[in-house]
Chain A
Amino acid sequence: MAKKILVVDDEQNIIKVLQARLEAEGYEVVTASDGEEALQKVGTEKPNLIILDIMMPKIDGFEVCRRLKRDETFQHIPVVMLTALGQAANIKEGMEKGADAYIAKPFNTVALLGIIQGLVGR
């Protein structure tokens, strides 16, 4: 069965290109445009992996990650944080909040796919 990936980003274009790329690789993709929607969809869609942008309005990526990792039902789902900031401090914070991997924008597609494969397989 195809692995399901939840992509969370407030930029519609990013969602669109990520979705196209992941579907071409054989993954099933569901999307959310902000932190609240993301938390909702994790419950309803039960994805195998979550790609999470950091800078989002209302609840930011760090907060979403923190909440997911504290919830017994969802803490096993690997989280890949996506950021345009790329500073060491952000990476550290991401890891402290429980992210499983971290990739900076603009990302190297091969690297991102490699990370996803490593975390959930094809």
Chain B
Amino acid sequence: MGKKILVVDDNEIDLLIIRRYLIQAGYLDVITAGDAGDGIQKAKAEQPDLVVLDTLLPGTSGFEVCQALRRQFGPQHPKIVIVTGSIDAVDAVKARKVGADDYCAKTSDCAPLLEAIKKLM
């Protein structure tokens, strides 16, 4: 599909799982980062079409990274999806307010994430 996706998550196993499912779904160009700094750097360098952010990152949060990315790149592009292992309606609102395009649960088969990405790309 030619689209580039950046995934930022400090859990190595989760990164591997998401990466595998994305590639299986046809998104062959997947870049990963293990923390906020690395994530923002790679976003600038690689210019992905979509960024997946875990809510929990060392020293900061997916929401703050989202804010930083919006400040850097503007409100439309890249598309940003925030994922979490602990769903919370308050966090959902926060995600929208910091400019994320979607907010969904982390599951072992990545179904909600793939659904969200499909809608955005």
A and B touching (C-beta < 8 Å)?
no
